[in-house]
A and B are shown apart, each in its own frame.
Chain A
Amino acid sequence: MTENKGKVVSINGNLVSVRFEGNVSMNEICYVNVDNIKLKSEVIRIRGNIAQIQVYEMTGGIKCGDDVDFTGEMLSAQLGPGLLGQIYDGLQNPLPILAEQAGWFLERGNYADGLDAEKKWEFTPTAKIGDNLRAGEYLGTVPEGPFTHKIFVPFYLLGNYTLKSIADKGEYTINETIAVLSDERGREIPVSMAFKWPVKRAVKCYSERLAPTETMETKVRLIDSFFPVAKGGTYCTPGPFGAGKTVLQHTTSKYADVDIVIIAACGERAGEVVETLTEFPELTDPRTGRSLMERTIIVCNTSSMPVASREASVYTAVTLAEYYRQMGLNVLMLADSTSRWAQAMREMSGRLEEIPGEEAFPAYLESYIAAFYERAGCVLLPDGSKGSVTIGGTVSPAGGNFEEPVTQATLKVVGAFHGLSRERSDARKYPAIDPLISWSKYKTVTDPAKSGFLKNILLHGDEIGSMMKVVGEEGTTISDYVIYLKVEMLDAVYLQQNSFDPIEANCTTARQRYVTDKLVYVLGSEYSLDNKDDARSFFNRLRQKFIDWNYTEFESDAFRNAENEIDALYNERQGKINRQAELLLKGGE
């Protein structure tokens, strides 16, 4: 901590102005002293010898003349073994420890270290004395839950270093020196297993950024087969309240095919965090067979917690994600909701009396959103392995209107858009992603031609549906009516998915490919149907058989039996596949 001090000169909400001497840097952390409590704050504007700071706590009781201590450090996250399974607030204070210290409430000025300083970790050195090392290269490993946690040359060390000494294999706490590096001028730098990194700066200790090409399975059919997300990609989920944004993220956090999930509950309900906290330790991760909590970190700054730390929470979360990416792991970071983060920026901007942009959001909204999503990516690490950070953010547009600034700024920078619609959620269709407005720039897990074929039927059916609203069933030809029924069926058996059923909710790629083929076959066929009633009852039966099929375990006997029943029904109505579908299926074989 530097000796730099200042005095409070004005207070407006959580914006406090401080007169200082000496040097103060932008985004530096400082503490306001009130009644023997230190309130953490961040410098957000400097004018002459006045620094304006946002206080991460409630500001009641502060008066002019109160002392402010500047630390010389930016807001940082502590990185090291022991992050997994933690529940942090937006400033990386572990909430269970705060509860031990202060009881029911989040008392202000009560902070705790992000990592346990007492715990011993089994360190195995991998670097050798004399090795030439740079920031982000490995010194050794410790086991952490199901993962091999790599110990790094701290990211903040610029330039080349030589390893002077390294600890033997054994148990160490995170603050013990485990290696000594010397820089080009021969100065010695002791290094421990944990270090700090400023959260608002992206970690760039990689050789190369790669294009996100590998699809991240979410096991949600509508996403994987139609609007996929790539590992290292970005996507957003805007939707009106009650459309199921949080439920969808919750399901994704359980089933996504990634190593680590970081959940940033940013400005949302505390009850939802409690749900995750209660549920996750009980669930097993299908990939490792261990508790789901062991691969999860929760950063929660719920809506009633101070606004300034809400802004920090998404940065804290993405920094933790980048840290694990550096170990060659695939990390998914889910932010719920980025609108609350944007609103936190708006509140500060208003207090700073900046000239407002659209809907009073600050003019830099777009560049901040873009910079945040740009921290996602697939990277080639110094040791040749690959790691990725995927970012998925929900957006809560005012009035459910996607034309608002946060949604629009987000759509410019993400690779996939899952727009939730009020109509679909009101009709209790889950997931409520609207297939007619959503898009993705990534590769589907299924054959794109087949997904395209199904999507075309969907579009055609939608046109017929709108026409039918005008002319009624009577005015629609039977062939159009059949297409309409096919779309209803596609929606019910493939686009919708029951997230409560363990088999249904976890629909693997192999299964999606298999079922897609079947659907191309069944929906790409003509049937002999007498009239509209006959057609409706046929498709109702077919739909029921498909739904039953969805609930059977993939490639089990029940699965085959259910499939046989579909085939039998198909043959009963002399289904005949059309040429386009036939070519498509042949091409796929």
Chain B
Amino acid sequence: MNKVFNRIESITGNVITVKAQDVRYNELAQITTRFGKSLAQVNKIDGDTVSLQVFAGGQGVSTGDEVRFLGHEMRVSFSEDLLGRIFNGSGEPRDKGPALTDNMKPIGGPSVNPTKRILANRMMRTNIPMIDMFNTLVVSQKLPIFSISGEPYNQLLARIALQAEADVIVLGGMGLKYDDFLYFKEELSNGGALSKTVMFIHTASDPTVECMMIPDMALAVAEQFALQDKDVLVLLTDMTNFADAMKEIAITQEQVPSNRGYPGDLYSQLASRYEKAVDFNDSGSVTVLAVTTMPGDDVTHPVPDNTGYITEGQYYLKGGRIEPFGSLSRLKQNVNSKTRKDHRILMDSMIRLYSSYKETLEKKNMGFSMNRWDEKLLKYGQLFENKLMDLSVNLTLEEALDLGWEILAECFEKDETGIKSDLTDEFWKVK
């Protein structure tokens, strides 16, 4: 039944062309080379010339290799059996478990009807004070973690995976270093979260085309879980590698690049993935946290720049900490009025005082003399950084708020904080 072709017309990079009829756009094919079998996807049809991108790459493909069209698009199996499993970008097992072929669902499906969404209004707790207290993560939010290479972003993701209040975690790794893959596996199994996790992993040594499949597979699975009333957290690392894979393929196919070599549809491509974040009316939700490394710490680089326009805020990871100034959760005001009545005012006041501390620090570094107020701010800044900002701090929101009051009481008098007196009367922690 399946059409088989034995003549490959051209091979350029990861893209091959064959002469074939009755082939559907985006259809999958299986190509058998001397190194084994690989999937390939149709990405252009011109008359009877069909271009396919080969998942395993063009290396070693011979003009005489066999191409078998499968008659369907890229799909992913969906069932509870996925939990605890690890797959690669072709959907094949990376662990020792069996391949899953039941209940195949298409990936990269249509977008959700906006009238079927509801306003994001539930907090997702992570027990990381810089997130819960200062830039609350909201169910169905899409947030990137902007970071430079070398920052502990994968450690942060692993912690969020372990601690976040989510029913299912889907981890998508793109261009992951093998060590990092092992790290995730170990952390999640040590933390006992493996049983609610599905991993789709592309490591740096795997073929580029597979990298492009990871977000779609991860999000398709997440969407299916969400439709079964689950709150799903999708963690993607690193979206810059995904964009670079797209760039590589686009250039191979001689597309006109728009900005620093990236294809003109970079925004739409990223958006169609991030927009999978959703809170379904009457069903579950998908929340997306995605690492975006900024080449050269440059936020105007096309990848972080386009991402910023798509997502609902961002976390800046800098110097091993989530930076309070650049970071922003645009949806936090939807939830932080409902947590505890001192949450908002404490959040604002502590950040305001921290910003004064930064100014004082600058003054100090320039050699100006410090007055009593400056000394207080310096002490406050130190405490704030060590007790709340440090990424190893692990506190519930309530504990973090209490600690916030403690730090304030340790450094200031009530009326120096600029907080309304009815709140200070209630919450002030005298030592």
Contacts and interface: CB of A to CB of B under 8 A. Distances in A.
B73 A398 contact: no
Nearest to B111: A304
Given A60-B24, A303-B272, A95 B113 contact: yes
B99 interface: no
Interface in B276-301: 276, 278, 280, 283, 299-300
Interface in B236-265: 255-259, 263-265
B47 interface: yes
B230 interface: no
A475 interface: no
Interface in A236-286: 240-242, 267, 269-271, 273-275, 277-278
A343 B142 CA distance: 22
A399 B310 CA distance: 13
Given A277-B114, A304-B271, A64 B45 contact: yes
Interface size, A (range): 35 or more
A241 B267 contact: no
Contacts of A488: none
Given A60-B24, A303-B268, A360 B111 contact: no
A63 B45 contact: yes
Contact of A303 (B140, B267, B278, B283): B267
B257 A242 contact: no
A106 B110 contact: yes
Contact of A305 (B111, B227, B259, B263): B111
A104 B45 contact: no
Interface in B46-83: 46-48, 73
Contacts of B255: 350
Contacts of A277: 114-115
Interface stretch (A9-17, A410-418, A510-518): A9-17
A274 B256 contact: no
Given A12-B46, A64-B47, A107 B268 contact: no
B22 interface: yes
A170 interface: no
B309 A241 contact: yes
Contacts of B264: 343, 346-347, 349-350, 360
Interface in B6-37: 21-27
A317 to B, nearest CB: 15
Main secondary structure of the interface of A (DSSP, over half): mixed
Interface in B99-122: 108-120
Interface in A322-350: 340, 343-344, 346-347, 349-350
Nearest to A340: B267
Interface in A8-67: 9-12, 58-65
A96 B26 CA distance: 30
Nearest to A361: B258
Contacts of A356: 256, 258
A396 B119 contact: no
B93 interface: no
Nearest to B48: A64
B113 A60 contact: no
B302 interface: yes
Contacts of B227: 104
A470 to B, nearest CB: 13
Interface in A399-414: 399-401
Contacts of B140: 271
A278 to B, nearest CB: 5
B305 A61 contact: no
A426 B325 contact: yes
B276 A99 contact: no
B22 A65 contact: yes
B25 A400 contact: no
**Residue picked from B24, B47, B255, most chain A C-beta under 10 Å:** B24
A52 B255 CA distance: 18
A363 B196 CA distance: 51
A403 to B, nearest CB: 12
A360 B258 contact: yes
A302 interface: yes
Contacts of B258: 346, 350, 356, 359-361
B185 interface: no
Interface in A72-120: 87, 95-96, 98-99, 102-108
A399 B21 CA distance: 45
A105 B113 contact: yes
Contacts of A103: 113, 116
A108 B22 contact: no
Nearest to A343: B267
A194 interface: no
Interface string A287-302: 0000000000000101
A343 to B, nearest CB: 6
B318 interface: no
Contacts of B308: 240-242
A271 B24 contact: no
A99 B110 contact: no
Nearest to A94: B115
Contact of A108 (B110, B113, B259, B267): B110
A307 interface: yes
A12 B116 contact: no
B252 to A, nearest CB: 14
Contacts of A400: 300
Contacts of A278: 118-119
B114 A95 contact: yes
A275 B114 CA distance: 10
A105 B110 contact: yes
A445 to B, nearest CB: 31
Given A10-B46, A304-B275, A398-B300, A275 B119 contact: yes
B44 interface: yes
A63 B256 contact: no
Contacts of B330: 242
Contacts of A270: 111-112, 114, 117, 275, 278
A269 B310 contact: yes
Interface string B131-164: 0000000001000000000000000000000000
A50 B325 CA distance: 55
B312 interface: yes
A51 to B, nearest CB: 15
B328 interface: yes
Nearest to A57: B110
A466 B281 CA distance: 52
Contact of A398 (B21, B112, B305): B305
Contacts of B115: 87, 95-96, 99, 277
Nearest to A426: B325
Contacts of A426: 325
Contact of A302 (B118, B257, B275, B325): B275
A343 B255 CA distance: 15
Contacts of B73: 60-61
Contacts of A241: 305, 308-309
A359 B259 contact: yes
Nearest to A58: B110
A61 B114 contact: no
Given A12-B45, A398-B259, 20 more contacts: A10-B46, A58-B110, A60-B73, A61-B26, A64-B23, A95-B114, A95-B115, A104-B116, A104-B227, A269-B310, A271-B312, A303-B272, A303-B274, A304-B271, A343-B268, A344-B268, A350-B256, A361-B258, A398-B306, A401-B300
24 contacts: A60-B25, A60-B73, A61-B27, A63-B25, A65-B21, A87-B114, A95-B114, A105-B111, A106-B112, A269-B275, A270-B275, A274-B119, A275-B119, A304-B271, A343-B264, A347-B264, A347-B265, A350-B258, A350-B263, A356-B258, A360-B264, A361-B258, A398-B306, A399-B299
Nearest first, the 7 A-B pairs at minimum CB distance are A399-B300, A303-B271, A304-B275, A60-B26, A360-B258, A241-B308, A304-B111
Interface of A: 9-12, 58-65, 87, 95-96, 98-99, 102-108, 240-242, 267, 269-271, 273-275, 277-278, 300, 302-305, 307, 340, 343-344, 346-347, 349-350, 353, 356, 359-361, 396, 398-401, 426
